Amino acid sequence: MTPTYSPNDDDPSTKSAPKSGLLEGRNMPCFEALLLRSRPHDPIRTAIVHPCDEHSLHGALQSRAETLIVPVLVGPRPRIEAVAAEAGIDLTGIEIEDAPHSHAAAERAVELVREGKVEALMKGALHTDEIMGAVVHSKTGLRTERRMSHVFVLDVSRYPRPLLVTDAAINIFPDLETKADIIRNAIALAQSLGIDVPKVAILSAVETVTEKIPSTVEAAALCKMADRGQIKGGALDGPLAFDNAISPEAVASKGIVSPVAGQADVLIAPDLEAGNMIAKQLTYLAGAGSAGLVLGARVPIMLTSRADGVIARVMSAALAQLYVRNRQGALPGTLAKPIAED
């Protein structure tokens, strides 16, 4: 199956030529389409939190070269400049907010958001709990009415559209209301990517509801919440096993009638362990391109791994730019509500 995804083909924002050869020679047509979609839009001011290694600086500077972000480097200036000099990275014209260590960098980056000086955060060379600790602080953090969750966006060579997988990084054992917010966050991101009505598959081990598998009962409840208007903007179905969510052949063989089955845009995992394994299996076994965001805070957070390469960082920046501009109403054909109003 050859990927054919092209968000909103009648949208002039997808007609520009790629700006660089970042994805040249790679089979990532979905990511290419998303980069094209980002072209007409202004870059977002982004705090790069503690970019004290070569990967962090390269990712930030390449995202800047793609006109996705305007980086603000937040961390110890001497260390940042030393890493840049050793790696041959030119920091001319790059704003640096001096902070003595990683914890201070995370706190200052959050302050920059609260001051209205940056529109997104990108994780650098620090632990996830350091940046997220500052983000979730009850008094000085970036919480909203929405529960925060992480969304992977994968470019799988044998799947004809971007595949969103959630939650694989934040919520370990989400309850029903948390899963509802996980779905709301994923729908908002999918719409930012040009998927007007995302098809959301709520996963379990089987496609029938049984009290012996609690995730099937929750899937049914979430679908009824969508029927009642408690979850808006997407087409939901579940429970669905993984094969029934993404394989038209599996759907046909089981006689499933569904607007979602076999063509899902979004996979909702029953818990973090399942979501994490799905995303990593597709990345490491199927060779999928991977990017992702934490949503539900005041601004999107690019929670890349310290081991992630430039493509993952740049594509996460593309997701963040599209998400921010969509919320501001800058993208055609999609919703643009502030997150706390959904």
Q: How do residues 313-323 score in pLDDT, each as one tens digit?
A: 999 999 999 99
Confidence of residue 17 (pLDDT cuts 50, 70, 90): very low
Q: How far is CA 6 from CA 157, 217, 226, 308, in A?
A: 14, 35, 27, 26
In the predicted model, what is the mean pLDDT of residues 296-321?
91
Q: Summarize pLDDT for 186-229 with one digit per residue, the tens.
A: 999 999 999 999 999 999 999 999 999 999 999 999 999 999 99
pLDDT at 25: 75
Whole-angstrom distance, CA of residue 185 vs CA of residue 182 = 5
pLDDT at 5: 54
pLDDT at 26: 83
Confidence of residue 22 (pLDDT cuts 50, 70, 90): confident
pLDDT at 147: 96
pLDDT at 13: 43
Kindly report the pTM of this predicted structure.
0.89
Do β-strands 149-155 and 163-166 pair in parallel, antiparallel, or remain unpaired?
antiparallel
* C-beta separation of 73 from 96 below 8 A: yes
* C-beta separation of 256 from 263 below 8 A: no
* Tokens (6 digits) for 130: 């350091």
Exposure string of 303-333, with b = 16+ CB inside 10 Å and e = fewer, is bbeeebeebbbbbbbbbbbbbbbbbeebbee
Q: If you ran DSSP here, which 8-state letter would residue 24 be given? A: T
pLDDT at 2: 41
In the predicted structure, residue 306 carries a pLDDT above the cut 80: no
